[in-house]
Chains A and B, each alone.
Chain A
Amino acid sequence: MSRADKKLDLSPVPARSLMAFDACTRCGECSIKCPVGGEAEEKEERTPRGKIRAVKRIRRTEANPIRRALASEEKVDRMRRELARSLYECTVCGMCSEACPLSLDTIRMWESLREAMVTSGLGPLEEHAALVRSIENYGNPWMQPSAQRGRWARRFKNIADATKEKVDVLYYVGCTASYDPEVVRVAENLATILHAAGLRVGILGKDEACCGSTLLRLGETGKAKKLAEANIAMFRKTGAGTVVTACAGCYKTILQDYPRLTGEKVPVKHTTQLLAELIQSGAVPLSKKAEGVTVTYHDPCHLGRHTKMYEWPRRIISQLPGVTLVEMERSREKARCCGAGGGLKTLDQGLAMKVAEKRMEDAEAIGAPVLVTSCPFCMQTLAEAARGRGGKIKVVDITELVVQRLAPPQSP
C-alpha cells in the first residue's frame, strides 16, 4: 500500500460521532473520571480527550499535503499505532459519556473507532488475536469445546434442552458462566432459584454460541454480525417468547447491538429483572429467618450506563430478608468500572486490576463486608482484586445472595 492510500478509514464511525469530535470542548471532565487514563494511571493519550485529539491530528496530517510532506512516514504510522493502542486501552465503560457536559455518546464513538481500527488494519491488537480465534473456532473466548457448554445443567431437572423441547423462556447462559469454574455458580444459582419458583427454562447447550459481545467491543463487527444472525436463528427455532441472560455483556449485546447489526429485535431480559419480578410476585419462596448482612451493589457498566438497569437489582436486594444495602459513594450512573470490559483485561491484566482495585477501595470505604454484582465478568475481576487486597470483602453475584435466602424445601 502506498503512503497516500494508507489512511485512517473512518467510514465505520457514525457521522454524529465525527461531529462530536468537533463538539468536544476539551473541558477534561471525561479525562479525570476515565478509569484507565485518569484514575488508574494518569495518561492523557488514553483519555477520551486524548483520543479525540489524536484522531483529529492524524486526520489533519493525512488530509493536508503540506503536513503530510513534513511528517515522516514512520511518524504518521507510529501516531496511528499509538492511537489504536489507546483505543483498546479502554474498558468502554461509558463513564466519559456520563461525565461529558454535552452527554456525547462516547460508547458508540469508541466502539465504532475500534471498528475503524479493524478496517484500517490497525486492530484488534496482537494480544486479542487468541481471543478472536477462539470465538471463531470454538464459539467462545475460552477455547473450550462446545460439547461442554451445557454440562453444568445436567443435574437440574428444570433446565430443558431448548433444541428438543418447546420452552417459553430461553436461558442464554453466556460463555463465562458456561465454562469458568468460578462463575458457573451463577448459572447453577439461577437454575436453583427458578426450580424453587417452579419455573422450567430451556438452554441451547452445545448449540449456544458466543453472543459476539467480545468481538463487537474489539471492533470485529463483521464477525459479530454472523454470530448475531446465527443466535437469532437459534432463538427463533426454539420458539421461546423471552430470552433471559445473567450476563450484563450478553444482555447489552442482544438488546442494543443485535437490532443495530441485523435489524431484528430480540425480546430479552436480564436475570435481575426476571428475579425481581418473580420475588415481587411471591413466586420465589424466601426464608423468613435469615442472617443479617450488609451489602453494597456494584453496577456493571453494561447493565448500568449502557442499558440503564439500575432499579431491578436494587429491588431484589431490598426484598431479601436480612439484607441491608449501603450504596458506595459512586453508584448507579457514577459507578466506577471494574476494569474488565472492552477487552482491556486481555490486553493488560495489570491495568485492569488497577481499575478493579479502585472499585474495591470504594467498597472498603463504605464498610460493607459483601459486594454484590450482576455481571459474571465483573464478579470474576472484582473477586480477583478483593483476594489481592486480603479478602476483606466477599464478592458475589446477586443470584448467590438470593440462593442463600431461599426457604428450605418443604418436606412432602
Chain B
Amino acid sequence: MDRPIRVLVGKPGLDGHDRGAKVIARALRDAGMEVIYTGLRLTPDQIVQAAIQEDVDVVALSILSGAHNHLLPKVVELLKVENIYDETLVICGGVIPEEDIPFLKEKGVAEVFTPGTPTGVTIDFIKQNLKRA
C-alpha cells in the first residue's frame, strides 16, 4: 500500500447533475486519495479508456437520470473485456431505486450509495474493498 488509492469519478450518460460527483470527488481527495474527475457525458467506453490511462483502482460513477440499469452493466462489461475488472472496484451513487440495487450488484457493481449517504461511508467502503493487491 505505498501509493495512494487512485479513483476515477465519472458521470456516464447525458445527465448533467454533477453536485454529488463533485462533492464525493472532493471528499475522497481530502481523505488522501488521488481523484480524477472526468466531467459530464461520458460513454461507458470513454470511462473505461480513462480508467486504463489513469491506472485507477476505483471507478466511481454518479447517475441521477434513471439510466443506471443500462449504463452501469456496460461499464463493467467493458472493464472485463479490457481484463481490468478483477483489479478495479466499481461503485456508484445517485437517485437509484432500492429495487434496482440487487440487479446492479449481480452485474458487478460492488456497492450503490443512495441520497443521504455520508461521504465517510463511501470512503470506508473503498478502503475495505480495494481489489488491487
State whether these chains interact.
no
> B residues bordering A, Cβ < 8 Å?
none
- State the A residues within 8 Å of B (CB): none
